[in-house]
């Protein structure tokens, strides 16, 4: 089983959406028994909460129900997880600081490094303090980037 974890700051906007979109992609390809998908936050403010209502609404509008509960990424997660996808560069540096070894650090990637339309911008913008349009923009980025992540996993693990 390949374990993949999406990580943002609060685990209530960007990474729960990526978890939901990626899970649906994995299910569509019949790979639920091969790829385990989760998400987490580097912060602890929202532990136990459902995703932000605005993110859930954007997801629902696009046919996706988000049901995850926020949790904080722990150093031990480096052991159980094969691929850790940071939603922005600040999340990545927080994860780098937590990583227990060089091997663990190699599990880290920036999510948007798999976005063929990133035009050099490797951050999924944090929509939390902005307007509704920010959530749609995050959806667009996540939707377009997830297939590249799946292809990377398939190539690397021979799925
Ligand atoms: P996320 O968005 O990292 O995409 O879940 C945020 C959620 C909450 C906060 C910041 C970003 N916050 O400061 O509480």
| Probe residue for ligand 1, chosen from 126, 135, 138, 139 as the CB with the greatest number of ligand atoms within 8 Å | 126
146 is an active site residue? no
119, 83 Cβ separation under 8 angstroms: no
Ligand 1 in reach of 19 Cβ (< 6 A): no
Name the DSSP class of 130: S
Find the mean pLDDT for residues 27-45.
98
70: confidence class by pLDDT, cuts 50, 70, 90: very high
Residues in Cβ contact with 23 at an 8 Å cutoff, skipping those fewer than 6 apart:
37
With pLDDT > 90 as the criterion, what percentage of the chain qualifies?
97
- Write down the pLDDT at residue 132: 87
Q: What is the pTM of this model?
A: 0.98
| CA nearest to 137, candidates 117, 152, 108 | 117
Q: Which of 8, 54, 115, 146 is catalytic?
A: 8
Q: Given a cut of 90, is residue 83 above it in pLDDT?
A: yes
Report the sign of the C-alpha dihedral through residues 89, 37, 24, 129, in that order.
negative
For residue 38, the cross-strand partners are 5
CATH of the domain at 65: 3.40.50.2300
Q: Given a cut of 90, is residue 34 above it in pLDDT?
A: yes
Please tell me the total count of domains within the chain.
1
Ligand 1, atom 3, lies closest to the CA of 9
Compute CA distances 108 → 32, 101, 121, whole Å: 22, 12, 17
What is the extent of the structural domain holding 55? 2-157
Q: Is 35 helix (H, G, I), strand (E, B) or coil?
A: strand
């Amino acid at each position: 089983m390949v374990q993949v974890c999406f990580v943002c700051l609060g685990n209530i906007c960007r990474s729960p959406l990526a978890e939901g979109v990626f899970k649906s992609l994995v299910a569509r390809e019949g790979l639920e028994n091969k790829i385990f998908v989760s998400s987490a936050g580097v912060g602890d403010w929202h532990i136990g909460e459902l995703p932000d209502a605005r993110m859930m609404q954007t997801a629902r509008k696009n046919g996706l129900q988000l049901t995850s509960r926020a949790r904080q990424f722990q150093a031990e997660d480096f052991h159980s997880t094969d691929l850790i996808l940071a939603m922005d560069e600040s999340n990545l540096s927080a994860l780098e600081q937590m990583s227990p070894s060089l091997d663990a650090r190699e599990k880290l990637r920036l999510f948007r490094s798999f976005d063929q339309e990133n035009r050099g911008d490797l951050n999924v913008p944090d929509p939390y303090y902005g307007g509704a349009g920010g959530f749609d923009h995050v959806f667009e980025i996540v939707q377009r980037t997830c297939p590249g992540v799946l292809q990377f996993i398939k190539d690397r693990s021979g799925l």
